[in-house]
Structures are given as C-alpha cells and as structure tokens.
Amino acid sequence: MKQKIAAAFIMGFISTGLISFIIISTNAGFSENFFSKWCRSWMTAFTIIVPTILFFGPKVKRFVDYLFPKK
C-alpha cells in the first residue's frame, strides 16, 4: 500500500506540475505573477489528482487486465 501511495504522489506531482505549467503559460503567458498563479493552480490540481489516482487506479488496472487478459 505504501508503494501505491508513493506512486500516486510522484505521478500526481509530475503530471500536475507539467500540465499546470503548460496551461498557465499558454493562457496567461509569462507575466510577473506567473509563478504565483502556477503554484496556486499546481497545488489545487495536486490535491485533487492524488486521491483520484488512488481511487481510480485499481479500477483502471482491473479494466486494462480485462481488456488484455494474460494467456
């Protein structure tokens, strides 16, 4: 269980950081308050995505295993 939680935090950290950076830079540009906007949206996304990964991760894995059964 510790590994799943750690993986969710790491994947959440990387994915939300990258996506929020791209979206904020595309929509707002690199203004003087870019860093604060980016940090705020990154932390918001991170707090949403980690529980989402932990909840949906096992369901997605079961679905993928169903789609591609081991022979």
H or E stretch at 29: none
Q: pLDDT at position 71, please?
A: 79
pLDDT in tens, 40-59: 999 999 999 999 999 999 99
45: buried, middle or exposed (CB in 10 Å: 19+, 13-18, 0-12)? middle
17: buried, middle or exposed (CB in 10 Å: 19+, 13-18, 0-12)? middle
Domain boundaries, the chain: 2-67
Q: pLDDT at position 28, please?
A: 87
